[in-house]
Amino acid sequence: MIGWDAVAELDRRDPLSRYRDRFALPKGLIYLDGNSLGALPRSVATRVLDTVHEQWGEELIGSWNSYGWIDMPLAVGDKIAPLVGAGPGQVICADSVSVNLFKLLAVAAAMQSERRLVLTVSDNFPGDSYIAQGLTRLLGENRLRLVKTTEADIARAINTQVAVVLLSHVNFRTGRLLPMADITAAAHRAGALVIWDVAHSAGVVPMELDDWNVDFAVGCGYKFLNGGPGAPAFLYAAARHHANVQQPLGGWMGHREPFAFEPDYAPGKGIRRFLTGTPPILSMAALDAALDSFAGVDLEKLRIKSMALGKLMVELVQRTELADELSLVSPAPPQLRGSQLSWSHPQAYGIVQAMIERGVVADFREPDILRVGFSPLYNSFCDIWEAVECLRSVIAGGEHLDARWRHRQRVT
Q: Which residues are at the interface with ligand PLP (CB under 6 A)?
A: 96-98, 125, 127-128, 168, 172, 197, 199-200, 220, 233
From the candidates 371, 378, 381, 383, give the one annotated as an active-site residue: 371
User: Smallest gap, in angstroms, from Cβ of residue 312 to ligand PLP?
Assistant: 24
Q: CA-to-CA distance for 388 and 394, rounded, in angstroms?
A: 10
Q: CA-to-CA distance for 397 and 383, rounded, in angstroms?
A: 21
Q: What angle is formed at CA 278 by the lines to CA 274 and CA 282, rounded to 5 degrees?
A: 115
Nearest residue (CB) to ligand PLP, 98 versus 344: 98
Q: Which residues pair with 166 in a beta bridge?
A: 195
From the candidates 31, 67, 102, 125, give the one annotated as an active-site residue: 125
The reply to whether 222 belongs to the active site is yes
From the candidates 33, 197, 215, 383, give the one annotated as an active-site residue: 197
Nearest residue (CB) to ligand PLP, 231 versus 317: 231
Tell me the C-alpha to C-alpha distance, in Å, between residue 255 and each of 70, 103, 187, 258.
13, 15, 31, 5
* CA neighbor of 328 nearest in space, from 350, 353, 345, 316: 345
Nearest residue (CB) to ligand PLP, 97 versus 351: 97
Contact 253, 276 (CB under 8 A): yes
User: Smallest gap, in angstroms, from Cβ of residue 149 to ligand PLP?
Assistant: 17
Q: CA-to-CA distance for 230 and 224, rounded, in angstroms?
A: 13
DSSP, res 177: B
Residues 6+ apart with CB under 8 A from 29: 359, 360, 361
User: Smallest gap, in angstroms, from Cβ of residue 151 to ligand PLP?
Assistant: 14
From the candidates 172, 222, 224, 374, give the one annotated as an active-site residue: 222
Q: CA-to-CA distance for 60 and 44, rounded, in angstroms?
A: 21
User: Smallest gap, in angstroms, from Cβ of residue 403 to ligand PLP?
Assistant: 31
* CA neighbor of 8 nearest in space, from 312, 334, 303: 312
Count CB atoms within 10 A of the CB of residue 198: 28
Residues 6+ apart with CB under 8 A from 13: none
Nearest residue (CB) to ligand PLP, 229 versus 296: 229
Nearest residue (CB) to ligand PLP, 92 versus 391: 92
The reply to whether 223 belongs to the active site is yes
Strands of the sheet containing 369-373, edge to edge, are: 327-328, 340-344, 369-373, 363-365
User: Smallest gap, in angstroms, from Cβ of residue 282 to ligand PLP?
Assistant: 17
Nearest residue (CB) to ligand PLP, 97 versus 281: 97
User: Smallest gap, in angstroms, from Cβ of residue 53 to ligand PLP?
Assistant: 28
The reply to whether 197 belongs to the active site is yes
From the candidates 79, 223, 272, 273, give the one annotated as an active-site residue: 223
Q: Which residues are catalytic?
A: 125, 197, 222-223, 371
